[in-house]
Amino acid sequence: MTDRMVHKAKSAEALVTLRGAGVSRGGRWLVRGVEFSVSPGEIVTLIGPNGSGKSTTAKMATGVLKPSEGEVVRRAGLKVGYVPQKLAIDWTMPLTIERLMTLTGALPASEIDAALEATGIAHMKKAEVHHLSGGEFQRALLARAIARKPDLLVLDEPVQGVDYAGEALLYELIGRIRREIGCGILLISHDLHIVMAEADTIICLNGHVCCRGTPKAVSESSEYRNLFGMRGSAAIAFYDHHHDHEHLPDGRVLHADGSVTDHCHPDDGHHRDHDGHGHAGHDHAHYEHDHARHDHGPKGGHRHA
Ligand SMILES: Nc1ncnc2c1ncn2[C@@H]1O[C@H](COP(=O)(O)OP(=O)(O)OP(=O)(O)O)[C@@H](O)[C@H]1O
């Protein structure tokens, strides 16, 4: 199959497809020439500097904004779950997580419970929203969005106000949601962080599509490096790690020196320690292994889920 045929087949099954889409306001193009689609089970991440058109593009995808040129095609009857960047909440009013779930429409109690369970906050159902930590709040917003079983989940900066460790856990959760619900995910990242680890496709915007591809391809492209400079390089380092051992299909481990062991324990003599010689400082490849099941720390460390 040629690339063009693959693209055609992919957009035929896509949840949403943008073709040459752009929005202009007051004689100025906010964003132009946007082309991408999101298919079931796929994570597409929009990155780009402030004002580069990420939110505008997401609004075109969800139908909140009509494109001024080009077209946006959504699958008939598409259910969209949206997690906004900001929520207009009157913080002087008491609001429990349970109530937050039903603010914009009724939900059966069983659906509320299932969504809170899936996001790991079932025990906090009666907790006041304004007491939540950044990570808990993002989980509550995610629970609210997935409770209605969307086909397409749009997340506008889902790791806002969350520290690095919490960020890795949230991305792991988002990865699990796409595997379990099978929805497509359009993720907007207003910062680079570790967003790229879970994404299948990265679209880098800068008023137009600057570059696109797999996280690795984007992080290596000169357009991306020019746009993000040193900050981009830090994110690149995350992917540009070198593997000193590989996991074989039978579960054994092949080390750089050619030896094979049953495990990759830090004390088996094959690994560098923390000050440049350690297990925490290395990364590895896994045959037929889902990298999405790893928590990647921002410095390239990992742990198995
Ligand atoms: N309704 C509007 N009318 C005029 N200009 C707008 C409108 N909405 C957005 N803009 C402008 O369009 C540009 C793109 O905005 P957008 O919110 O899509 O960027 P973004 O990439 O999401 O930015 P950030 O990372 O800062 O949130 C910005 O310059 C913004 O000021």
pLDDT tens, position by position, 189-242 = 876 655 556 678 888 888 888 888 887 777 777 777 777 765 554 443 333 333
- How many angstroms does the Cα of residue 55 sit away from the middle of ligand 1? 7
Cα–Cα separations (whole angstroms), residue 40 to 57, 78, 152, 188: 19, 11, 8, 17
Ligand 1 atom at shortest distance from the alpha carbon of 26: 4
User: In this structure, what token pair is assigned to residue 296?
Assistant: 């990647």
Residue where the block lists tokens 């054994």 = 252
- CATH hierarchy code of domain 3-79+151-239: 3.40.50.300
Work out the widest C-alpha separation in the chain, in whole angstroms. 65
In this structure, of 44-48, 230-234, 262-266, 272-276, the range with the lowest mean pLDDT score is 272-276
Ligand 1 atom at shortest distance from the alpha carbon of 188: 22
User: In this structure, what token pair is assigned to residue 156?
Assistant: 């506008």
Mean of the per-residue pLDDT values for the chain? 75
Question: Which of 207, 167, 164 shows the shortest CA–CA distance to 187?
Answer: 167
CATH 3.40.50.300 maps onto the chain at 3-79+151-239
**Per-residue exposure over 77-101, b if at least 16 CB sit within 10 Å of its own CB, e if not:** eeebbbbeeeeeeeeeeeeebbebb
Question: Cα separation of 111 and 268, whole Å?
Answer: 47
- How many angstroms does the Cα of residue 68 sit away from the middle of ligand 1? 15
Terminal CA-to-CA distance of the chain, rounded, Å?
35
- How many angstroms does the Cα of residue 115 sit away from the middle of ligand 1? 32
pLDDT recorded at residue 61: 96
Ligand 1 atom at shortest distance from the alpha carbon of 207: 14
Residue of 55, 157, 228 to test ligand 1 pocket, by largest number of atoms within 8 Å of CB: 55
Element (H, E) at 253: strand 253-255
User: In this structure, what token pair is assigned to residue 43?
Assistant: 């994570």
Tell whether ligand 1 has an atom less than 6 A from the beta carbon of residue 219.
no
Using the 8-state DSSP alphabet, how is residue 206 labeled?
S
Residue 292's SS3 state is helix
Is the ipTM here above 0.85?
yes
Confidence band of 17 (pLDDT split at 50, 70, 90): very high
The answer to whether residue 133 scores a pLDDT higher than 70 is yes
Q: Percentage of residues in the chain with pLDDT exceeding 70?
A: 70
pLDDT recorded at residue 13: 84
Average pLDDT for 62-84: 94
The answer to whether residue 169 scores a pLDDT higher than 50 is yes
Question: Which of 74, 77, 75, 76 shows the shortest CA–CA distance to 58?
Answer: 74
Residues 6+ apart with CB under 8 A from 38: 14, 15, 16, 44, 61, 152, 184, 185, 186
- How many angstroms does the Cα of residue 157 sit away from the middle of ligand 1? 15
Which residue owns the Cα nearest ligand 1 atom 12?
30
Cα–Cα separations (whole angstroms), residue 37 to 9, 171, 181, 265: 11, 21, 19, 41
Q: Quick check: 67 and 60 in contact, CB under 8 A?
A: yes
User: In this structure, what token pair is assigned to residue 25?
Assistant: 């306001």
Instruction: Supply φ then ψ for residue 281, to 5 degrees.
Output: -90, 0
Ligand 1 atom at shortest distance from the alpha carbon of 31: 14
